Structure 1
Amino acid sequence: MNILIDGDACPVKDIIIEEAGKRDIPVTIVTSFAHFSNAPLPLGVRTVYVDSGADAADFKIIQLAHRGDLLVTQDYGLASLALPKGLTVLHHKGFAYDNSNMERLLEDRYMSAMVRKSGKRTKGPKPFTDADRHKFRKLLISKLQED
């Protein structure tokens, strides 16, 4: 198993790296060159940089992913591509994507896009909280213990 992180806007990278390190699970952070960093990373963690194009990170993640890997992303579209490939896919707010919730999530995203396209405003995501952070850690640990 490898853990892949859709890294441009992932607020739980530190949790993932910590929990993966305890279990010697390799972590790959895929992020755009706009987020380049020279900061040292712990052993077992690597960063793959991609162009800043709209779906560049998504395409790279799907290319790197293998059945049984775990992916952390907030991108519903990327999650919908990863599930059929046999990945476990988690959202940073502490829920797992699966076939039973994917259709609703994609439909909600589409409806919000149509509202915005018509000139109306939609609510943005709720702020990320310590409760979300705790919920994510708990879910991640349970998924890592399944293997």
Structure 2
Amino acid sequence: MFADPTGRHAAAFAAVFAALYVAHQVADHWVQTQWQADHKAEAGWLGRLACAAHVTTYTLTALLALATVVLATGLRLDPWGVAVGLTVSGASHYIADRRTPLRRLAEHLHKSPAWMERGGGLYALDQSWHYGFLFIAALFCAA
């Protein structure tokens, strides 16, 4: 990529990833309403609306976490990089939380239906999908 003898880019990435990871946990498990959780994977407009509402509060939680890091540490982030990163995070979160795309991908990869349904596999796949995209989002935010 490019040389960064000061390590500033690596430190910015680490701080941003930590903020996005914490925001993910808080937004997915505390901020998300029961209505959003119950309906976000449903077919039709109700499901799309519930998922969009969840992704909105999820993204606002991430923005708040990033703003807190910036204010607390003096870290400078490019607003366009943050916008792209949060868009990547939000869009990928919406795709995963609608469930069908993730389930189809898991089936294509021959994941066991029993493991996905009763063994916690679908939740594990969902979370690992989110963490992978948080990594990509942090790269954009910290660039």
- Normalised by the size of structure 1, how large is the TM-score? 0.28
Rg larger in structure: 2
- The structure whose residues are more often helix, as a share, is 2
